[in-house]
Structure 1
Amino acid sequence: MSTPPPPNQPPAGGFGAPTDPPPGGFGAPPPAPPNMQPPVPQQQPPAPPAAPPAPPAGPPQQPPTAPQQPPAQPAYGYPQQGYGYPQQGAPGGPAAPNPYGAPTAPMHAAQPLPGTPQGPSGSEKRTQLMIVGAAALAIVLIVAGGFWYASGSADDGEPQAGPSASTGAAPAGTPGSEKAPANPKARVLYNHPSPAPEESTSVKGSWLTDSVYAKSDIGKIVGYNLVDGGKKWELPLPGEICGATKHVSDNKTAFLFRASQPTPEVKYPPCTEVGVLDLTTGKLVWSGNAKGSATGDRPANFDEVTISGNTVAAGGTSGGAAWNLADGKSLWTPKADAEGCYDSGYAGGEALAVIRKCGRHPNQTLQAQTLDPATGAPTSSYKLSEGIEWASIISTKPLVVAADVGKTAKNATGISDLFVVDPKGELKSRISLASGNFGGKCRSTEVEMCSNIVVGNGKVYLPSIEHQGQESGRTNELLSFELETGKQTTDRSDAGERYTMYPLRMDGSNIIAYKSGPYDKGGQVVSIDGTTMKQTLLMETPGDRAAKKAEIAFSPEFSEFRYHNGKLFMSRTTARKSSISGGDPDYLFVSYTAS
């Protein structure tokens, strides 16, 4: 199924590094102890492309027919022009009334899906950038993928996906589950050829457990074993996958899909169907949809889906809805009100939170609310400043909201400020990132799609932007802010000369990060001690020419990175047939295993 790219694609040519800074370094708190201070850069970001189009005036009367998809996967690892696109967000005020009540829209019962398993599409070739053999080669600035895994529940023993934000309360010294292997030098596990549809098609969604790696494909989800990458199971779907959560609960996860393939009459079927997948068996536990507050008898069109505990919640411009994870029973839907409010998107994990839009453009207001997952009733509400169109949720417990206030975010990060909200809905602290010295990034129209920023140990961790190192290479550092005070700490962990670091998730009180390597070395996965900021090497990928070319095709921002127990998977979120014949293999995902 083909879908058009989103309106706010990165500029042609990919993603490059910002201007080299003067001496002094990046992002350091004043004052800081000697040798603990990263340099402050010249703020010369590349000119961003046009901002995304204005949102509709309240919930639309019909679900949109053209889906929003991330841009085609850019090549990763070489200096290019530009590195992102602008987004927007907001700040605060009082609580809001409860817009929720008993379920007002039925959800269709779980149904088996038609079709028989299909084999994967053949490999297509495309030209990739050649590896440059120069020591001064600048590794492109790409923000880390916002996907991570925490240790699983005692019920199933499987690693449970969820935002590192969910571990914000982890005390210092809490041990992580990831241990350094006897030999961190990794080998390629399995590289799967990419499908090659004529137009850009969503393949969002990938999940890694103790026994399986599951990945979305064209009209299906496939589970692969962790020994040699062989297929374990396959779940065919009637239409394209159009969204997926990174969370796993009780070894189940949720995704969005279209009810049918495109036809000449309906080129872009709406994204209305919610499905829950058992990652062990590959079986569809249930699927269904719900009516939106402004869609009449038609199913609501959803943009995002998430999980918190036993609740699956999906939201979008035509409203939201929630279901029981185990059986698909409808739990609640937001009620329509005179202000035209709707739930634009939810964030899950340890808690459930929502960004709720009210009013009509250009006078819309946003509220960041925490919800009772069973009833949808707000347990706290923080009103963002008027005129702010978009906001994202970095963490649900504690609640940390990201926004671009007054369009002051620099370096195309989409974040000028973080707002830390207490359980009563009152502002605890405000963290300014408007200097552009930090590498966290949020996508304006998606609530739970921030990357390169994680929360844990009562802090928020994010890297400095890439800058000139001590020698000829480029590098950056991992830094942090206290959530309680909003002040920058003296925490610092250097990526190392010619390496660039991207935090992926928390592991107890440790930070799991991916480090892109120079042209002649592989990348690394490290565990960073949350107290000492000392790094432990968990994995180093192969640095030979073929392996390096495969690895640099996946950027931490536009790809899904999954690391657990000595296994690393990098996968695409969109697929499209290359317009250039020949060249290097094009992969849906690549994977590595450390011995």
Structure 2
Amino acid sequence: MLFQIPSPEVTDNVNTLGSWLTDKAYVKSGVAEIVGYDPDKGTELWTIKLPGPVCEATPHTTADDRTAILFEPAMPTKAEPSHGCSQIAAIDLDAGKKLWTKTVNSGDEPITFDNITVSAHTAALGSTDGGAAFDIDSGKLLWQPKAADTCYDAGYGGGEKLVAVRKCGEYDDRRLGIQTIDPASGKVISEYKMAKGIEYASVVSTNPLVVAADVGDNAGDGSGISDFFSIDDRTGQLRTRISAPGDEYAARCEGVNRVEYCKGLVVGNDRLYVPTEEHDGTEAGSRTNEIVAFDLATGKPTGQRADAGDGYAIFPLRMDGGNLIAYKRPPWDKGAQIVSIDGSGFKETKLLENPATEAVHTAEQSMAPDYAEILYSQGHLYMSRVHAGKALTGSGDKEDLAIALATGG
């Protein structure tokens, strides 16, 4: 264990969304602040104070480690539990500086946004009340989606490309357009129109373009996913559709408000990597699962499987070139692992194994991978919570906001 960042004491649940890793700092949202920590020691390098809690963040950054966040203009109170997600700021994660703060008005009132993302040097924001895109360096307004009677950009997926989920029509007669957009001008490059009746969609990846949705009879298990849509972003044509019922696969997306928020999914090598739901292992009483791969050109399973092993549960985190990085949640008597899975042969290589001590287990237990933010790089594992909560009365246990572990040597 390198360090533990204690959870701030609060009287109610407060959002602490957002964590990033640069060559210079591990950066984490706290309660109404963003803090940069020394990646090895955990000492505070810098703090950016905010008037209210961070309500939305994106994992995406520019090539020079800049990102954007949404935050509330004031702290929640009993009388007003939310002040609306109306404040936009750009953050330089290396320098520890807030570059600018903006709001966007609809009439006399500031727009409350649902989500934010970053692509190239553009910060894009969407909501039912309107959207906007800013140059992340200067804060200049680059473009706003065209206002229309029954159409709006519900949100954006960022990263290598910028993708909008555009909603048209009234509820129960909805039509979603998945648009690849030029981040600098807002010009639509291509559009795929989803079938009528699909109310929500989540952007899993922008390059290659993959979208998840709950469709028809398969919907309703709470994961937000019944099918994946692999789309050609140049033409807007559907490449293939992959059925992934929620009772079989453990990934989830929150496409109702947060278009970009998906957990337990990774896209790479023109494949979709997704974990299965847990099932009985070979040993009595044990549970386990696997990561399986689907071909984004054909929609068919590739036959590749990475087994977690008895008592472990495996979750994909990100790509590392052609290899997949995954986290393995351990049984009670073992330490969690980070493994690299070879993209062609699916051979598993252990990169890190945490101590199997009670202290580490207790710290990790509140960092469930389907909710927590998990970052791994260069033998360093960072896990953090997305809420700071009121401690259980009388429990005496101090909760962590974030923990960092690393390989020895």
- Equivalent of residue 170 in structure 2, options 342, 350, 360: 360
CA contact (8 A) 1:258 1:270 kept: yes
Considering fraction of residues, name the structure with more strand. Answer: 2
**Higher relative contact order (CA closer than 8 Å, sequence separation 6+):** 1
1:439 paired residue number: 250
CA contact (8 A) 1:466 1:500 kept: yes
Aligned-residue offset at 1:266: 4.7
Aligned-residue offset at 1:507: 0.8
Give 1:197-276 correspondences, 5 Å limit.
Answer: 197-249=10-62, 250-262=64-76, 266-276=80-90
1:73 paired residue number: none
Aligned-residue offset at 1:379: 0.8
Q: Percent identity?
A: 45
Aligned pair count reads 404
TM-score by length of 1: 0.66
Q: Is residue 419 of structure 1 aligned with residue 214 of structure 2?
A: no
1:312 paired residue number: 123
1:351 paired residue number: 161
Aligned-residue offset at 1:369: 0.8
Q: Is residue 282 of structure 1 aligned with residue 92 of structure 2?
A: no
Q: Point out where structure 2 has 5 or more consecutive residues left out of the alignment.
A: none
Aligned-residue offset at 1:458: 1.0
CA contact (8 A) 1:207 1:215 kept: yes
Give 1:292-441 correspondences, 5 Å limit.
Answer: 295-338=106-149, 340-409=150-219, 411-422=221-232, 423-434=234-245, 436-441=247-252
Aligned-residue offset at 1:271: 0.8
Q: Cα RMSD between the aligned structures?
A: 1.5
Q: Distance in 2 between matches of 1:254 and 1:471?
A: 47
Q: Distance in 2 between matches of 1:191 and 1:435?
A: 34
Q: Distance in 1 between matches of 2:41 and 2:137?
A: 31
Encode CA deviations 1:455-476: one digit per residue, 9 max, x unaligned.
Answer: 1101101112111111122111
CA contact (8 A) 1:331 1:374 kept: yes
The change in CA–CA distance for 1:276 and 1:490 in structure 2 (over 3 A counts) is same
1:508 paired residue number: 321
Q: Secondary structure at the match of 1:270?
A: coil
CA contact (8 A) 1:410 1:436 kept: no
Q: Is residue 522 of structure 1 aligned with residue 335 of structure 2?
A: yes
Aligned-residue offset at 1:263: 6.0
CA contact (8 A) 2:145 2:152 kept: yes
Q: Point out where structure 1 has 5 or more consecutive residues left out of the alignment.
A: 1-187
Aligned-residue offset at 1:436: 2.9
Q: Distance in 2 between matches of 1:347 and 1:411?
A: 24
Encode CA deviations 1:241-290: one digit per residue, 9 max, x unaligned.
Answer: 11101011121111111123346775421111111111111111111122
2:400 paired residue number: 587
Q: Distance in 2 between matches of 1:489 and 1:349?
A: 26
CA contact (8 A) 1:493 1:533 kept: yes
Q: Distance in 2 between matches of 1:581 and 1:303?
A: 36
Encode CA deviations 1:61-108: one digit per residue, 9 max, x unaligned.
Answer: xxxxxxxxxxxxxxxxxxxxxxxxxxxxxxxxxxxxxxxxxxxxxxxx
Q: Distance in 1 between matches of 2:10 and 2:388?
A: 7
TM-score by length of 2: 0.95
Q: Is residue 193 of structure 1 aligned with residue 193 of structure 2?
A: no
Q: Distance in 2 between matches of 1:268 and 1:444?
A: 21
Aligned-residue offset at 1:208: 1.1
